[in-house]
Amino acid sequence: MTDLHNFKNKELLRRVAFIDCETGGLDPEKHSLLSVGIVLALPEGFQKFEIGIRHAEYYVQADALKVNGINLIEHEKSSVPPKAAVEKIIEFCSAHLLTDDRWLICGHNIHFDVGFLKPFFHSVGVDFEKYFSHRMIDTSSILRFLYFAGVLDADVSSSNKAFDHFKIEVEGRHTALGDALATCELFLKLTEVVVGSQ
């Protein structure tokens, strides 16, 4: 991971939660949320969290499981029920937020992930907006903007192209934690690109 020692706004990063979700399909109204990965880039070091979600019934597509490599039989062994998953997510994030502010979420195509997370929280009676801001940072949109602005020579807004372009080695590609870590690294590299273009 990028060293945060020389990062100018380390305290601002304390409010940002880098999040990725693995799901059973593309439709949050139909398909199951299977795992959530969170990375916090704190001045004292990177904090990592991942949790699998166990459902009474799974609504998944074969193509989705082929991409994320989730075996539902193995998944059952280490996952927890929805309410417990939400409680653990809140516990992890709250332990590192030093103010009463809400977490600012960052991710790659983050609206997809929040599209699953928000109703998932609500399904167990927890207000998502109590803990996470409605304001979000999308690394894919940042990449597209930098391309339009001429800072980048190519449109590398897809995650595969972005990770390749910035030489980010992803440990556990298409796992929630692996992709959250890679997105955190991408965000930090994008701040360097912006500073270098000034």
Tell me, what CATH number does 24's domain have? Answer: 3.30.420.10
DSSP three-state, residue 110: helix
Check residue 14 and give its pLDDT: 81
Nearest to 49 by CA among 177, 188, 183: 177
Q: Which domain holds residue 43?
A: 10-197
Give average pLDDT by consecutive 10-residue segment, the chain, 198 residues: 65 87 97 97 89 97 96 96 98 82 94 98 96 95 96 96 95 93 94 72
- Residue 2 covered by a domain: no
- Residue 77 covered by a domain: yes
- Residue 193 covered by a domain: yes
Check residue 4 and give its pLDDT: 65
The domain tally of the chain equals: 1
Nearest to 116 by CA among 36, 16, 17: 36
- Residue 18 covered by a domain: yes
Cα 118 from Cα 135, distance rounded (Å): 13
Check residue 43 and give its pLDDT: 79
- Residue 118 covered by a domain: yes
Check residue 99 and give its pLDDT: 65
Q: What is the pTM of this model?
A: 0.93
Beginning with the edge strand found earlier in the chain, give each strand of the sheet holding 132-138 in spatial order.
45-52, 33-42, 16-23, 103-107, 132-138
Cα 122 from Cα 128, distance rounded (Å): 7
